[in-house]
Each structure stands twice: as structure tokens, then as C-alpha cells.
Chain A
């Protein structure tokens, strides 16, 4: 009886965690949240003077918390952050802070930007709607892959939300060529034996280069075997500027930010 009771409690707790987890992932707010560059920069100044002493310049000085990477112990939504900053956490030694509402918005914007001081304004919408765009209208899976489905032509995005800041992802959607990281530039390799490989680099050192081609085949080449190597400067990805509404862009961003591996 006692055992069954414990199991039942665990089950209920598990279900509750699952529900709360589903209902409140970091970016899946019901309404779209706006974070402006002005607020991010104002938030940085407040953060540096008021928060950095304990949380550190990178937001990772308190154990179990990495503010820039949206890893929290007690909060999830913007409202949670607002409440915690205002009332403090006496048990953890965090004092209450007397901020104006606009100041709180600014600090939240700085945290949500991933401490991206130079980042553009962005908005985060609904992740579920964003997934529908990714799989449907956006046609993203024609090149990208998430959790085992989609193509391997372009980088796998299964953990993109953990790797990139919101403004950077947004820029990749709107200006793919300008935002493309050097490692992802398309390469065209002609080998001394005549083989031609087209794909992108995964790794490189002084002597060798590791590639994946458009069909998902892996190559490790000795540079001494390469006759000609060309690096493309344009991206194969189309710009989605003007193709997605502001709300759709916010939803797509919410979905990509939710991909944490």
C-alpha cells in the first residue's frame, strides 16, 4: 500500500512536471514578446551595475543558472523573471530590487537576447505555430534537419536554440548570406584524381579537411590530395524577408529557440 502510494505520488508529480514543461518552455509564451535593441542595451547597463556582481558578466556565476543561455532554476516566463527580480529569493540570498517596470523590461530583454549587446530587435511568438511553418510553408526541411527528419544538405538545427542567440537566428532567416558562418560556406573541391566534392566543411586543420556533401556523405581529405579548392560566398538558403509575416517570423523564431538538442 505504501509502495503504491509512493508510486502514485511520483506519477502525479511526473505528470505535473510534464504538463508544466509542455505549457511553459522558455520561449513558448501565449502572446508574442517584443525585445527591442534599445531595451537590450538599457538592460545591459542595468545588468552590469546591479546583477553582474553575483550573476557574473556572462550570467553563469550562480550554480545551476546561466542567464545568457536561458538556464534558470526557478523561473521560465518573463512574468516569472519580473516577479523574482522584484521580490528576490531570500533563501538563495538574492535581494529584492526596486526597478521601474520599464527597467524590468530592459533587463528581461537583455537576458532574452542572450546578452547580445549588438543584437537587433526581435520578437518571440508561439513555438508550436513556428514548427508548423518550419515543416510546412517555410519548406525548411528540404535542406535542414531537426531530430532526425529533414535533409542533411544544410546544417542540422536540432540544437540551434542552445547554440545561437535570437537576433542571430533571426538574421539567418532574413539575410542568410550575410549571416552565414564561414564554416558553412559551400565548398567545391576538385581532387588530383579528378573527383569533385560539393558540400560544406565540418572541420579543418593544417593537414586535412572534413566535409559533408549534399547527399550526407562524409569525407576526410588530405590537403595534399586537393587540386583546387573554392569557397562560395553566397548561401543556398533563400531569404524569408517579406515571405513571412512579422507574427510568423516570431513564431518560427520561437520554434528554433526551443530546439536545444
Chain B
């Protein structure tokens, strides 16, 4: 009897949790992500990657009533660059190297943790990062440091299948969050510093079997192969380590492609080196290339084009255009027509001296600096992989920039050895006093002893129609933080200093801030549980969630 009543209570509880919202995450729901703003269904919140939430409960008027709701602590050291998903009241977030946590989005308590141990001889250039999972049905998908793709049961946290994407011993890895389109899971590979030949590939969501592969460096006989000489294409890099975007109406998948290899010696790989430093538009059903646009040909500066393609339908000189907004690591902001890749606008958003401008087609007019002289922007770029945001309400495009920051690049011949770095030289950050401290690729610690003489960070808003800045929110240290905007015209971001900011998206005015104490190296997300809006952001080793005071 007693057992029976317990079972009955358990049943009742299960029914209570299994509200209609707990319906399976279908491909159709992901396509219409903006119709369910209580959830955060893809890496960038939806296929258009605007990172704009229609939620309006948190406003400029009540922003000072935000309070801490819960914290989840990371169990491992190192930058925490993961972007959570929130689906039906459960948050799914990864931690280093390849763990997934399922967290109650209201309380921060864990349902389960999935552990995956990547091969000990995995290679990554810049930290054992993982940027998150994708979801379809009751299954989560995660790429791994040893270049596998794993499917995980979202209810139990146990693996369903595990597919090798590429050979990690050759320097391949997967650090990005996969993207689900229809019945396929799409990933790109890292390894641009190891002489890989990059690719984007799709896998059957049920089977884990590869459906197609698009090589980001065309092989013999394929168009674009002529932009490489000899065997350079075999080790030419062109990784694809950040999640792409998708336009269902045009049936095009957009993906940013990384630097050519060796990184800093273009003399060792003459030619434009397609499709390095490009955006490619692919048929998501077949992986066939529909168009491409290259930002930096024959790149000597490691200007990966691994930014998020942000898809916005805007008015362009009196006509509606399906645009793609892109602030590139090379220091230029671009507007492209995403139906055909046509160049509409390009303008520098930070100091640029590697090029003196763009021609009519948007090709850069290269102005390489003499050996030993500084190049702006520096090796980490005017911006980088940090997710930007576009608000259809303000019509502005928001992203993190590194200003007044330069590097001195050095070219050397590198010999390719499988699995080893293939740098082709090196670089040092330009400092006004030789050998003084400089900004690191990652945060070096809580002390800023390089000072703003070496560069500074900022959050900026650009009007896509002009390419000009509308406002600048200057930060002292540089920032790797991504953006979140909401329909209350709030912009949420952070930086290496650990401040979490709410800015007025129209003016850039600081409305609220709190010191979370650790670097914010990913974008915040927002969601709703039980009718209440929450904001989550990762700072250092903590995932912090805020909500309005009860």
C-alpha cells in the first residue's frame, strides 16, 4: 500500500513535469525558435544567429532588481567557453574537456553529468575548449577534442553513438557546438595550426553515419583548386571551428572558414588559398557549394573567418535584401547579399593597416608592412569568434572589438610533420616599450599589467547601412565576450575583467553591472521557466543565473 502510494506520487510528479512544453524537440521547432523564446534551442538561439530574444520581462526599468538565482561550478580549470542550450526547463551545458551537464534551469541542480575522455594525444592549439551541444528529439550532440561526434540521451546522459569525424593524430579536433538541420548534425573541424585539410560534414542524426563532407580546400579538378600550388592544399588548414547559420527559405547553410596553413608564411602557399578566410554557402542536403566570399586572400595574419554569419532581412537602398552581417577578424565589417554572396558594403571598424581599403568587389587592397613593423589589427583580430548580436528593433549590429592592438609578424619556412604545429613563423604583440607585458590569447590572470598602451576592448554598435559606429562602450581590458540582445532593448555582455553588463542597446549607456570575478568568454543566454525570465552567463568557473527579485 505504502509502495503503491509512492508510485502514485511519482507518477503524478512525472505528469506534472511532462507539460506540453516537454514535447520532443523537432526540427520544425528549431526552425521556428523565435516562437518559443522561453527556450534557447541552438548555439546562437536560432538559425539566423541574431542572439536576439523576444523576452521582455527584464527591462531597463527593472534591471536593478536582478538578483542571483543560482550558480553551477565548473569542475575543471581553463577558460569556460560553453554556450548553454535551454529546452523544456532543462539547461544543457558542456565543460572541459568533453563533459555535458543537464541542469534544472530554475534551481541549478543537476540531473546528470556525461563524461567523455578524449584520447590523450589530442591536439588543440588554444585550450581544451568545447562550446556546447546541439539537440534534436531527445538526443544531444557534442563534438570532442579527439575529433569525434557523440550522440547522448538527453534524459539519461548516456551515449547513443560515437562517430570518428577525423583522425585526431593528424591535428583534427572538434571544439564547436554542432548544428542540427532537419535529420542531420553538422560539424566543422579545428586544427588550422596543425596543417590539416579542413572540412564541414553532416551526419545522420539517428545513425551517426556521414551524409556528406565539404572540404574547405578544393581537391584536384574542383573549382578553386587553382588557388593552391603543388601539394600545398593537402596541409592548407582552413579549419571550420565555429557554428554556422541556416536560411531555410534559401535552403542555404553558411559557414565561416579559418586561416590557411602554415599560419604566418604565405610565401609557402602562394595563391588565394580558397576557401580559407571565407564564408561558404552550402546546400544543407548535399554539402554542395553554392557560393563563397573570401575576406582575406593568401592571409599572412591568422585572420580566421570563423565569425558567426548573422542573417538579417534589412532594407538596402530602398529594397529589401536578405543580408548577412559579418564583423571579420581582419578588422572590416561586411554586408553581403546572402542569396548570392554579392558584396554590398565593407568598412573598417578598428585601425587597419594590412590593407588600405576594399575594391568595388570587396577584395582587400593589401598593404603588407615591412618586417619588424606592427600590423593592425593584431593576431587576435579586431574581433574573433565571440558571438555578435543583431537587434531587429534597433537595427544595430553589436560585437566585441580589440582596439589599438597590433602584432609584429614573422615569416619562416615550416616543415609539415603530421600532428605537429605548422606555424610558418610567429608573431608578437606590439607594445610601446619592448619586452613589456602584452595581452595574451587567453586571460593571463587577474592583474592587468600590460595597460591600455597595448590595446583595449570595447563593445560597439554598427549601423549595417553605413558600416559606421553608432556607439562605443569602452572597456579597459580586451574582451572575448559575446552578445545577447532582448526586445526590451537591453544588451548583455561581459569581458575579461569579469564584469557582467546590461547596456541600453540604443545608446550603449551602462544600465547595470555586477562583478562576477572571472573572465566572461562566451555570450549570455536568456530563457523563461514558470513564466519568469532568467539570464545565464559563464564567468570564470561559474555559470551564474540571474532573475528578477520575487
Contact = CB atoms under 8 A, between A and B. Distances in A.
Interface of A: 48, 53, 57, 116, 118, 164-165, 167-168, 178-183, 201-207
A116 B428 CA distance: 12
B184 to A, nearest CB: 40
B414 to A, nearest CB: 10
A57 B423 contact: yes
12 contacts: A57-B423, A116-B435, A178-B433, A182-B454, A183-B436, A203-B446, A204-B452, A205-B476, A205-B477, A206-B475, A206-B495, A207-B499
A119 to B, nearest CB: 8
B453 interface: yes
Nearest to A202: B447
A182 B436 contact: yes
Nearest to A181: B436
B435 A206 contact: no
A53 B495 CA distance: 36
Interface of B: 412, 417, 423, 426, 432-437, 446-454, 474-477, 495, 497, 499, 513
A146 B454 CA distance: 28
A205 B478 CA distance: 10
A53 B475 CA distance: 40
A181 B449 contact: yes
A204 B435 contact: no
A183 B451 contact: yes
Given A167-B435, A207-B499, 6 more contacts: A164-B435, A180-B433, A183-B436, A183-B451, A203-B448, A206-B497
Nearest to B410: A117
Contacts of A178: 433
Contacts of B432: 182
Given A116-B435, A118-B434, A181-B436, A206 B449 contact: no
Nearest to B423: A57
A235 B499 CA distance: 33
B446 A48 contact: no
A183 B453 CA distance: 9
Contact of B474 (A164, A167, A180, A206): A206
A10 to B, nearest CB: 35
Q: Which of B417, B423, B436 has the most CB of A within 10 A?
A: B436
Contacts of A205: 448, 476-477, 497, 499
A206 B499 contact: yes
A149 B372 CA distance: 41
A222 B204 CA distance: 55
Contacts of A53: 417
B132 to A, nearest CB: 27
Q: Which of A48, A164, A202, A205 has the most CB of B within 10 A?
A: A205
Interface majority SS (helix, strand, loop, mixed), chain B: loop
B450 A57 contact: no
A181 B437 contact: yes
Contacts of A179: 433
Contacts of B499: 205-207
Contacts of B453: 182
Contacts of B433: 178-182
A112 B64 CA distance: 56
A168 B435 CA distance: 7
Nearest to B458: A206
Nearest to B501: A206
A57 B474 CA distance: 35
Nearest to B479: A206
B448 A204 contact: yes
Contacts of A168: 434-435
A237 to B, nearest CB: 14
Contact of A182 (B426, B435, B446, B451): B451
A206 B451 contact: no
Contacts of A181: 433, 436-437, 449
Q: Which of B426, B435, B437, B446 has the most CB of A within 10 A?
A: B435
A181 B437 CA distance: 8
B497 A203 contact: no
Nearest to A179: B433
Nearest to A223: B476
A178 B435 CA distance: 12
B52 to A, nearest CB: 25
A1 to B, nearest CB: 46
A165 B435 contact: yes
A202 B437 CA distance: 13
B446 A183 contact: no
Contact of B451 (A48, A116, A167, A201): A201
Contacts of A118: 434
Contacts of B449: 181, 183, 203
A167 B434 CA distance: 11
Nearest to B453: A182
Contact of B476 (A48, A183, A204): A204
A180 B437 CA distance: 11
Contacts of B417: 53
Contacts of B450: 182-183
B123 to A, nearest CB: 13
A166 to B, nearest CB: 11
Contacts of A202: 447
A182 B453 CA distance: 7
Contacts of A183: 436-437, 449-451
Nearest to A114: B435
A131 B448 CA distance: 31
A99 B477 CA distance: 46
Nearest to A163: B437
B434 A206 contact: no
Contacts of B454: 182
A232 B104 CA distance: 53
A180 B477 CA distance: 20
A202 B448 CA distance: 8
B404 to A, nearest CB: 13
Q: Which of A165, A178, A207 has the most CB of B within 10 A?
A: A207
B293 to A, nearest CB: 34
B409 to A, nearest CB: 14
B247 to A, nearest CB: 37
Nearest to B474: A206
Contacts of B476: 204-206
